[in-house]
């Protein structure tokens, strides 16, 4: 069993819809929870990070972490065609120079 | 400013050959990481350098893989006797010096080198 599980999709929604992406994990030692966006033939870029449990909002994006359930989510409001990409959840045990454990990624397509 | 750069962007080689992949981190970043991303998968950790030394090489799959960072800046990932299963995108990332400030020490990724072993 992988440490981080993520539905690979693909997920296709119309422009303006609310998108919900999620991951589950098994290692309770994870403290930092991240969401990366990766466009085709590009490296991942950090969208948001959350430390421990709770919610974090940044513009149209909201990240939620529920450590008791070992479940994290990313919500995208008012989705745009430019949001079409692969979204990777990721986790770390500590922030100071440690390895990131990634989910397999969900491919998202926003239809105009 | 310049981000992480990786060369070559694409590398095609034959089974059994030796390859070197280069990573130029962001200037001043002390930590450097290598990840491997297979098709349809997330990146998988290979090795991490703090300065010139490998602080964690637990992700290297076998002894055909080796990485160096002799001057604490540029790093080279070396793969001997390549196999078809080594075909993947090899990603490099760097992060700034460790800080006592609270917050997240972000890893900045390069575009990757796409390795194809025929």
Whether B41 sits inside 8 A of A101 (CB atoms) is no
Q: pLDDT tens digits for A77-106?
A: 999 999 999 999 999 987 666 789 999 999
pLDDT tier, A12 (very low <50, low <70, confident <90, very high otherwise): very high
Terminal Cα-to-Cα distance of chain A (whole angstroms)? 37
The CA R_g of chain B, rounded to the nearest whole Å, is 14
Indicate whether A71 pLDDT > 60: yes
Contacts of B104 (CB under 8 A, 6+ apart): A32, A34, A49, A51, A95
Q: pLDDT tens digits for B73-104?
A: 999 999 999 999 999 999 999 998 766 555 67
Contacts of A32 (CB under 8 A, 6+ apart): A49, A50, A51, A91, A92, A93, A94, A95, B104
Q: With an 8 Å Cβ cutoff, is B45 touching chain A? A: yes
- Look at residue B103 in the predicted model and tell me its pLDDT: 67
pLDDT lower than 50: segments of chain B: none
Contact residues on chain B for A103, CB-CB shorter than 8 A: 42
User: Per the structure block, which two tokens stand in for B66?
Assistant: 């080796």
């Amino acid at each position: 069993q992988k440490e981080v599980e993520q539905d690979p999709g693909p997920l296709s929604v119309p422009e303006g819809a609310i998108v919900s992406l999620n991951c589950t994990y098994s290692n309770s030692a994870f403290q930092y929870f991240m969401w990366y966006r990766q466009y085709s033939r590009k490296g991942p870029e950090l969208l948001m990070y959350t430390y421990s449990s709770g919610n974090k909002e940044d513009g149209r994006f909201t990240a939620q972490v529920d450590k008791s359930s070992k479940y994290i989510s990313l919500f995208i409001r008012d989705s745009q065609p430019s949001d079409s990409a692969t979204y990777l959840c990721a986790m770390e045990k500590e922030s100071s120079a440690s390895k990131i454990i990634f989910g397999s990624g969900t491919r998202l397509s926003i239809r105009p | 400013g310049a981000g992480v750069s990786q060369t070559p962007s694409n590398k095609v080689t034959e089974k059994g050959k030796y390859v070197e992949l280069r990573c130029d981190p962001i200037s001043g970043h002390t930590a450097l990481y290598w990840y491997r991303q297979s098709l349809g998968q997330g990146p998988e950790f290979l090795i991490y350098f703090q300065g010139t030394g490998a602080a964690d090489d637990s992700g290297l799959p076998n002894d055909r893989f080796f990485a160096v960072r002799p001057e604490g800046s540029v790093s080279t990932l070396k793969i001997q006797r390549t196999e078809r299963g080594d075909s993947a995108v090899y990603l490099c990332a760097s992060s700034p010096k460790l800080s006592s400030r609270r917050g997240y020490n972000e890893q900045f990724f390069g575009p990757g080198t796409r390795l194809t072993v025929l």
